[in-house]
Structure 1
Amino acid sequence: MSGARLLILEGDGIGPEIVAATRTVLDACDAAYGLALRLETAEIGFSALDAHGTTIPDTVVAAARAADGVILGPVSHNDYPPVAKGGLNPSGVLRKSLDLYANIRPARTPEALGLPGRAVDLVTVRENTEGFYADRNMFEGPGEFRPDPDIALAIRKISRRACRRIAEAAFALAETRPARHVTAVHKANVLRISDGLFLEECRAVAADHPDLRYDEVLIDAMAAHLVRDPGRYDVIVTTNMYGDILSDLAAELSGSLGLAGSLNAGADHAMAQAQHGSAPDIAGQGKANPVSLIASVAMLLDWLAQRGTLPEGAAAAAAIQAGIAAALADSATRTPDLGGTGTTTTLADAVADGVRRAA
């Protein structure tokens, strides 16, 4: 038994429900594969704001840094008060504080759903620490400002270092996939300097991987191509905002944003995070689909296995994916967003049963 220490942060809205569902699956993995997990919890979001005056206390960041991995529930950061009053975005804070530079977002059509149209099987590798995100590109203060009441300006930071390491992450991932194909998405015909720098680094890394296929597509064209023929693509690498948008599009094309796993990874830390938001309108009703967070935790277990921290994690991750596939095949366990009659709990219980059967 190797064990791993995981910090669990429930978040807001449906966060506590899908985190509880994910813990059901983790407990099944722990028992079936002898993971010897050490699970810790801490408050973030509105509950932390009420108790500590901030949506993410410094103690939580320190605990995340000390853990082997983090599980983050969705947060309602758009509803938080201003930063000066404690309304920080926990996701952004952790991505910056732990240097989680690669946001890995797979999109794959589940066979069980029998969706019409062309199958999707691709991964978006999104740069996670700079770009147009106002909280991630300045040493002090946000990257947006208003010089007068009628003008708003935004700064986008693109650095050679960030471009190089996200390109390296994408090509390393492509080496493990059958298609062995990387597509860099950009808008260098307009953003000639910043997206031009991104492409320089992608081309340099591509030259180090002559055995992989490499091409480049404009962001607007890519949105159209994904709808028309997503099967053309394998690993998509791009900057922060483009990647956020394209990965959501790919997730919907593959079945639902509620099925989309997402891992934020860096050199030393990783964080599982559902790709969707906190959906406060359905909180507490048992309707929330927990698969996105469960699939994200499978990615975290696999990441820990690759690092040698949790050798049994790879088998557990594969069992989770098999459990998800089996659960989605039954309309009685699927949640309403997937045309089923199940609940958050029944879907999690079905995935956990699948894990136990796979062991």
Structure 2
Amino acid sequence: MGDTIQVAVLAGDGVGPEVVPVAIDVATRALAAQGITLAPTTLPFGATAIASHGQAVPAETLEALEEIGLWVVGPHDSASYPPELRNPPPGATLRKQFGLYANLRPARAHGGVPAVAPDIDVLVVRENSEGLYADRNMTIGSGEFMPTPDVAMAVGVITRAASERIAVEAFDAARRRRGHVTIVHKANVLRLTTGLFRDVCRDVAQRYPDVRVDEQHVDAMAALLVRRPADFDVIVTENLFGDILSDLAGELSGSLGLAPSINTSATQGMAQAVHGAAPDIAGSGTANPVAMIGSVAMLLRWHGLRTGDERVEAAADAIDGAVAHVLADGVATGDLGGDATTADFGTAITEHLR
């Protein structure tokens, strides 16, 4: 168990340079209370990297990330990049280069924050390398093509190997939560692709007799998340379904500004909030840092579980507890009806940790 944790910091675009430093400050404080030093390395990424290196993800950034297992990554605004540099977007570059196959997206209501579903507390485990998102399926090309100007097609890919490894992630997570997994698919229509996904998840479930398992079609799942979210714990699904359901769950919990996320492989983890770059409020100091702070807490917990360092897990728990406490006290940014600035909220969290 080392006393220093290295982390790569890629601030990104829009509100990224505002919310990422707040999250790093919070993590630094929480780890220090456990006797651990956080050692951040800032790397070029996004629009600033285009200005300095001519690429959104320069080679030197990729080389550094190869050596550093933990990354804190802000949002990117690739729509504002020069047309020739928009594809692939920076997130896709990182995901493909390092095989970040698991996207974990929790959604939980907080005291002090109005929520459509005040009893929601779910974790969406999203397969992140294939599925019905065409850009994830090809070595060359996007996976979309047009045989004629009036016909557009996309390739969807489901494999047994990818389905199995994401199912394992989901069932392991359920053992740490409330012991319940819901398999989400559309096998009544997409019988071969999402049918394979469902069947592999069922097979994996046999290894976890202590975990309760059920399944839903994705359209029914969306309705049930709205109607009775407290019935669900861990939701495992393919890429496109997971993207949609996790955004829905985030809004039900109060705001996408509260929605954290990590993307992981077996060896590397990336904290990146669900929300986008929000260029319309960039520089105003009003961005909500909760999702980014929560993403960093998830990253620390993932690292603590992998390394067996309970101090790191304790730091993650302390961050989550501080966020819950500060929100319950009524400290909130404008998107949640408050008047706190990004910096104000970060200060409130670090003061609580102190």
Residue equivalent to 1:25: 26
TM-score, structure 2 normalization? 0.96
Match of 2:340 among 321, 327, 342: 342
Equivalent runs, 1:308-319 vs 2, <5 Å: 308=307, 311-319=310-318
What's the CA shift for 1:181?
Answer: 0.9
1:52-99, CA deviations, whole angstroms, 9 ceiling, x for partnerless residues?
A: 2211112212211211200010111233334x5464312111122221
Residue equivalent to 2:271: 272
Seen in structure 2, the aligned counterparts of structure 1 residues 274 and 85 have a Cα distance that, compared at 3 Å, is closer
Residue equivalent to 1:249: 248
Seen in structure 2, the aligned counterparts of structure 1 residues 171 and 152 have a Cα distance that, compared at 3 Å, is same
The 8 Å contact of residues 78 and 89 in structure 2, kept in 1 or not, is answered as yes
Distance (Å, rounded) in 1 between the aligned partners of 2:28 and 2:118: 36
Seen in structure 2, the aligned counterparts of structure 1 residues 81 and 241 have a Cα distance that, compared at 3 Å, is farther
Residue equivalent to 1:59: 60
Residue equivalent to 1:138: 138
3-state DSSP class of the match of 2:136? coil
Distance (Å, rounded) in 1 between the aligned partners of 2:38 and 2:308: 11
The 8 Å contact of residues 4 and 310 in structure 1, kept in 2 or not, is answered as no
Equivalent runs, 1:37-116 vs 2, <5 Å: 37-82=38-83, 84-85=84-85, 87-113=87-113, 115=115
Residue equivalent to 2:8: 7
Distance (Å, rounded) in 1 between the aligned partners of 2:26 and 2:311: 15
Distance (Å, rounded) in 1 between the aligned partners of 2:317 and 2:75: 24
What's the CA shift for 1:303?
Answer: 1.1
The 8 Å contact of residues 117 and 226 in structure 2, kept in 1 or not, is answered as no
AA at the equivalent of 2:39: R
Distance (Å, rounded) in 2 between the aligned partners of 1:323 and 1:50: 37
What's the CA shift for 1:315?
Answer: 1.2
The 8 Å contact of residues 110 and 118 in structure 2, kept in 1 or not, is answered as no
Distance (Å, rounded) in 1 between the aligned partners of 2:214 and 2:114: 31
Distance (Å, rounded) in 2 between the aligned partners of 1:138 and 1:317: 36
Choose 301-310 or 241-250, whichever is displaced more: 301-310
- Please list every run of 5 or more consecutive structure 1 residues that lacks an aligned counterpart in the other structure: none
The 8 Å contact of residues 116 and 253 in structure 2, kept in 1 or not, is answered as no
Residue equivalent to 2:187: 188
What's the CA shift for 1:45?
Answer: 1.0
AA at the equivalent of 2:303: L
Distance (Å, rounded) in 2 between the aligned partners of 1:13 and 1:86: 16
Seen in structure 2, the aligned counterparts of structure 1 residues 309 and 10 have a Cα distance that, compared at 3 Å, is farther
Residue equivalent to 1:327: 326
Distance (Å, rounded) in 2 between the aligned partners of 1:244 and 1:116: 19
AA at the equivalent of 1:48: A
What's the CA shift for 1:309?
Answer: 7.2
Distance (Å, rounded) in 2 between the aligned partners of 1:185 and 1:120: 17
What's the CA shift for 1:189?
Answer: 1.0
AA at the equivalent of 2:51: D
Residue equivalent to 1:128: 128
Seen in structure 2, the aligned counterparts of structure 1 residues 78 and 134 have a Cα distance that, compared at 3 Å, is farther
3-state DSSP class of the match of 1:227? helix
AA at the equivalent of 2:340: G
- Between the two proteins, the alignment pairs up a number of residues equal to 353
Residue equivalent to 2:197: 198
Seen in structure 2, the aligned counterparts of structure 1 residues 181 and 239 have a Cα distance that, compared at 3 Å, is same
Choose 284-293 or 27-36, whichever is displaced more: 27-36
Distance (Å, rounded) in 2 between the aligned partners of 1:258 and 1:44: 22
The 8 Å contact of residues 127 and 162 in structure 1, kept in 2 or not, is answered as yes
AA at the equivalent of 1:176: R
What's the CA shift for 1:113?
Answer: 2.4
AA at the equivalent of 1:22: A
3-state DSSP class of the match of 1:33? coil
3-state DSSP class of the match of 1:4? strand
Residue equivalent to 1:260: 259
3-state DSSP class of the match of 1:231? helix
3-state DSSP class of the match of 1:211? coil
The 8 Å contact of residues 35 and 310 in structure 1, kept in 2 or not, is answered as no
Residue equivalent to 2:208: 209
Choose 167-176 or 71-80, whichever is displaced more: 71-80
2:177 counterpart of 1:177 = yes
Seen in structure 2, the aligned counterparts of structure 1 residues 310 and 43 have a Cα distance that, compared at 3 Å, is farther
CA RMSD of aligned residues (A): 1.6
Distance (Å, rounded) in 2 between the aligned partners of 1:319 and 1:294: 12
The 8 Å contact of residues 21 and 345 in structure 1, kept in 2 or not, is answered as yes
AA at the equivalent of 2:275: H
3-state DSSP class of the match of 1:106? strand
Choose 269-278 or 86-95, whichever is displaced more: 86-95
Seen in structure 2, the aligned counterparts of structure 1 residues 106 and 150 have a Cα distance that, compared at 3 Å, is same
Choose 89-98 or 317-326, whichever is displaced more: 89-98
What's the CA shift for 1:311?
Answer: 4.5
The 8 Å contact of residues 21 and 348 in structure 1, kept in 2 or not, is answered as yes
